Structure 1
């Protein structure tokens, strides 16, 4: 039974494999040993933090087969986007011009550099092995982050965002980047994406234009990319939309992929999850699928399990489920139906 758990430094070699296989554009998961090591160590410090308050913490989770030790996916929660440096996005909104003499008012869509989304909680680094795509384990890898937020709300903002990878072709070329970013950075999309992954976004403010970009003046190929999703990122997007996320007026700086946003009190796994006391009970394996997690911090675990009876004040789990969640009968768990 696969379980989602906090990352450990011993996961570094396997995490590099996941990073190599990740979709181009997922800048929070890069195949660089130094960068990943720092990310793991930061996560370990975050999980060990005793004070239940929101700050710069990142909580990195990996999907593991406990029997083999093999990792099959990962995801991440950044408690506060823009805490250490501004979290830059492009805001898509019209620029209104008018003439009283001609009685004309006209709005032209523009893209403007901003950091409006700073201070919100950022869901990022989602990756699942291709063989598990479309399964309940993909939902576990994404949605269990929200069960963790529900269990520890003081550590996170009242709303969450997530950037969805935008369109690029099979050669790793982004029409939007070539029409916009290429002129200011003189770097191909792949190199710019890697630079952002390794150094953060601070260099963007130094080189990106501070004035609005008029969308009608961009090539049609670039305009078509604005707010579009890479085909291989559709599952990640659909899971979050099903949770209650919605597209915003903000898009990614590199490929113009959409940024999703939701208030925590609108997210299904947060508002519909229930806490129950577990007890040992054999299960047929034919029941309703549930996302289940314990309520711990450092020892957080989450699984997908088929339960014969929906949890109420109590929840029956078999021995394998209890072991995967590292629970004993009488402990608390959190669950939400798939």
Structure 2
């Protein structure tokens, strides 16, 4: 059974293995033992802290095969994007250029560097072994952290954002970076993203152009790549779109990938999840023919656990869990779990 849980320092080597295979644009997963160790330590401190509002906390989860102990994925949440430094994006805007005497009225698409999304909670660090991307386990890895948000709303903002990795080719060349960022830095896209992962995105962002960029002046390849999703990030994008995230307003300042945003209370896994009492099924009971898959989380803090389980649940009634599922979640009869349909 695959179980999502908070990362521990003992996971460091396995997490670095996942980071080494992650996309170049996932700067929150650098292939660097020191940075990953700091990331896990910060997460452990955040889970242990008493929190009344969203601050500098960050939470890092791993997806573990409970039988083999192998890690198959990871994901994270930052309570406040840009807590210690601005969180930059390009905002899509329209400028109007008009001349009454000439009868000309043009609407021009421009990109304006902004930090509108600073302070929002940020979904980060998503990685899933490629063989599992088209499975229900990708839903678990992406959405179960939203059940954590639903259980502890005081720890997070009233809005959530997530940066989706944009287009780059097999050599790591990004059309958007080559047209914009590379003009201000003597480095290619891979070098820039690696530097961001090891240091900070902000110092590079502060050297980006602060005046609006007129999109029609960019090369066609750069214009076409804006808001586009890297093929390996498509599953993540699709899951979050089903969750109710919007795509139209912001793009990433480096690769032009979409920056999604949503009100926390309207995200499907949060709005539709329910806290339900637990009953334990009789040992050896056959599975119901009417069962369907649910994401199930125990709602605990430092011992947070989430799984996918086939359940026959009637809203307003307790949920019957198998002994295996209850053990994986660390709950017993009379406890409560939070669940939402897959």
Q: TM-score range by the shorter chain?
A: over 0.9
Aligned-partner Cα distance in 2 for 1:129–1:211? 40
Residue aligning to 1:212: 212
Aligned ranges 1:126-145 → 2 under 5 Å: 126-145=126-145
The total of aligned residue pairs comes to: 338
RMSD (CA atoms): 1.3
Deviation (angstroms), 1:106: 2.0
Q: How far apart in 1 are the matches of 2:49 and 2:280?
A: 32
4+ long deviations beyond 6 Å: none
In the other structure, the counterpart of 2:313 is 309
In the TM superposition, residue 23 of structure 1 has moved relative to its aligned partner by: 1.6
Cα distance in 2 for residues equivalent to 1:112 and 1:292: 41
Query: Which residue number corresponds to residue 234 of structure 1?
Result: 234
Please identify, of 282-291 and 36-45, the stretch whose mean Cα deviation from structure 2 is larger.
282-291
Contact 1:178 1:188 survives alignment (8 Å): yes
Q: TM-score, normalised by structure 1?
A: 0.97
1:120 paired with 2:92, answer no
Matches within 5 A, 1:74-113: 74-113=74-113
CA deviation map 1:304-323 (0-9, x unaligned): 00113346341110111011
Aligned to 2:4: 4
8 Å Cα contact 1:275-1:313 kept in structure 2: no
1:262-286 per-residue CA deviation (whole Å, 9 max, x = no partner) reads 1122211111111111121045445
Counterpart residue number, 1:332: 336
The Cα shift of 1:110 comes to 1.1
Aligned residue for 1:62? 62
For residues 24 and 202 of structure 1, the distance between their equivalents in structure 2, rounded to whole angstroms, comes to: 17
Q: CA deviation at 1:243?
A: 1.0
SS of 1:73 mapped into structure 2: strand
Kindly indicate whether the alpha-carbon contact (under 8 Å) linking 1:229 and 1:258 is maintained by their aligned counterparts in 2. yes
Structure 2, unmatched stretches of 5+, are none
Q: Does the aligned pair in 1 maintain the 2:144–2:295 contact within 8 Å?
A: yes
8 Å contact 2:16–2:32 — kept in the other structure?
Answer: yes
Structure-2 change in CA distance of 1:294 and 1:311 (3 Å): farther
Residue of structure 2 aligned with 1:321, choices 314, 322, 325: 325
User: Do the aligned partners of 2:51 and 2:154 also contact (CA within 8 Å) in 1?
Assistant: no
Any gaps of 5 or more consecutive residues in structure 1?
Answer: none
Partner residue in 2 for 1:221: 221
Deviation at 1:291, TM superposition (A): 0.3
Q: How far 1:103 moved relative to its partner?
A: 4.0
CA contact (8 A) 2:251 2:257 kept: yes
